[in-house]
Structure 1
Amino acid sequence: MAVEGATARATPKDITLLTVAQVQALADAMPPRHRLLVLLAAWCGLRFGELTALRRRDLDLVEGTVTIEQAAVTVAGQRVITTPKSAAGRRTVYLPPHLIEDARRHLAVFTDTDADALVFPGNDDLPLTPGQVYGHAPRFNRRTGKQVHAGNGFYRARSEIGRPDFRFHDLRHFAATIAAISGATTKELMQFAGHSDLHVAMRYQEAVHDRKKELAQRMTALASGGFPA
């Protein structure tokens, strides 16, 4: 299977982002070995292929950085590691300080000690596939509509937070939007997310601007109608 949303051309305004609390809840609902996968996607903006190609040497927990030099792709049904599709994809991003300890624990428990060991090993120590992360969707009785199996993996985690529509790639949109809200310039957004297209980065800034404008309009509507007692 492919990563949902990875090739879609949705704009940030088309996506209902998670809150910070929902991102944490989503990560906590994942199998422990895939918890950091969600956190890095959400806070560092890494693509699925970039995450699943990370090696131990790519995480510098002293400097607090993640270096992206490779990406995992599917070729003839097999996951293989190659270079990013554009020069912009090769980059170093800083880990938000609140993720350092999560990364340290993950490396200690789930990653081999060799510098070339995959941070998120899949079956037979090959790169993770989307199917291994998504797992199985919840199943429902066709007649009664009742859930008969909770499912597992990302399917189950997103259902547990009440967002069965949420896609793994949407975590990347969350990261870029948070960066834009935090004041990142267009150039900084391009470097952060590994974009070579200026207009892609600008869409996040426009979406943040529109949301701020909408918030101001809501405040005026509230003021005009009076505050609730």
Structure 2
Amino acid sequence: MRACRSARDRLIVLLMARAGIRRGELAGLRRADLHFVLDARPLGCPVPGSHLHVIRRDNINRASAKSRNSRAVPVDALLMQAHDQYVIERARNAAAADSDFLLVNLFRGHIGAPMRLGAINELITSLSRRAGLQRRVRPHQGRHGFADNVVAAGGKLDELAELLGHDSLLSSQPYLHPSHERLRDAVERVPSPRLFLEGPHS
């Protein structure tokens, strides 16, 4: 995050890491997909709390959601704050005003045009290098990190599948990477029979 040089770049990183958004879903988001309000019913949306919608569309930048089924993903205050900062940054660029795409070119290329999928890869590679990371980070790793955090915080497999947009629980299983601490906790939760602890003659 400290390697980011713009509010837009911080928002991109947070959308992948805190909402589990795929690269194609990210580049295809429209401003109208973000319901960052407590009550979205005036917008015609029954989903409670702040959230974003992932919707499969044909986009001019070739970005696309993988699943045919739309989903709503809850967002936290950190992500909403990053979005607010990006809105201010974007408003300074008149060429970006007419685009319905959330993420647009602000600094190079065709200003105001929706970001390309490759530009997101280039950004993450550049941020990894700028942050001095030893290995290259790919956009999809943010999604894996999101899944790890949801499960570590007590999230269930069906909740994870819904958040990630998986039709089957089996599709979510590759995203489960139990840490050594979680594995130890799992073993320690299994009760030990007193018979084995105290011996037969106690």
Q: Normalising by structure 1, what TM-score?
A: 0.62
**Residue from 117, 132, 148 that aligns with 2:100:** 117
Q: Take 1:72 and 1:97, find their aligned partners in 2: how far apart are those partners?
A: 30
For structure 2, list consecutive stretches of 5 or more residues without a partner in the other structure: 39-49, 188-202
Amino acid at match of 1:29: A
**Contact 2:160-2:172 within 8 A present in 1 as well:** yes
What is the match of residue 73 of structure 2? 93
* TM-fit CA distance, 1:134: 3.6
**Residue from 168, 171, 174 that aligns with 2:145:** 174
* TM-fit CA distance, 1:167: 1.3
**Residue from 49, 69, 80 that aligns with 2:55:** 69
RMSD (CA atoms):
2.7
What is the match of residue 224 of structure 1? none
Q: Take 2:87 and 2:142, find their aligned partners in 1: how far apart are those partners?
A: 22
Q: Deviations over 1:138-189 (max 9, x none)?
A: xxxxxxxxxxxxxxx3223112242432211100000011111111111111
**Contact 1:190-1:198 within 8 A present in 2 as well:** yes
What is the match of residue 154 of structure 1? 124
**Contact 1:110-1:119 within 8 A present in 2 as well:** no
Amino acid at match of 2:89: V
* TM-fit CA distance, 1:208: 2.3
Q: Take 1:71 and 1:208, find their aligned partners in 2: how far apart are those partners?
A: 34
> Identity across aligned pairs (percent)?
24
For structure 1, list consecutive stretches of 5 or more residues without a partner in the other structure: 1-26, 136-152, 218-229
**Contact 2:52-2:73 within 8 A present in 1 as well:** yes
1:103 to 2:78 alignment: no
Q: 1:214 to 1:158 in 2, by over 3 A?
A: farther
SS at match of 1:66: strand
**Contact 1:40-1:46 within 8 A present in 2 as well:** yes
SS at match of 1:166: coil
Amino acid at match of 2:160: L
What is the match of residue 117 of structure 2? 130
What is the match of residue 35 of structure 1? 10
Q: Deviations over 1:17-67 (max 9, x none)?
A: xxxxxxxxxx33134122200111000000011111111111122132111
* TM-fit CA distance, 1:85: 3.6
Is the radius of gyration larger for structure 1 or structure 2? 2
**Residue from 154, 179, 182 that aligns with 1:183:** 154
SS at match of 2:18: helix
**Residue from 37, 55, 79 that aligns with 2:61:** 79
Q: Deviations over 1:181-207 (max 9, x none)?
A: 1111111111101112311323444x3
Q: Take 2:132 and 2:145, find their aligned partners in 1: how far apart are those partners?
A: 16
Q: Normalising by structure 2, what TM-score?
A: 0.69
Higher strand proportion, which one? 1
Aligned residues: 166
**Contact 1:43-1:175 within 8 A present in 2 as well:** yes
* TM-fit CA distance, 1:215: 7.1
SS at match of 2:61: strand
* TM-fit CA distance, 1:132: 2.0
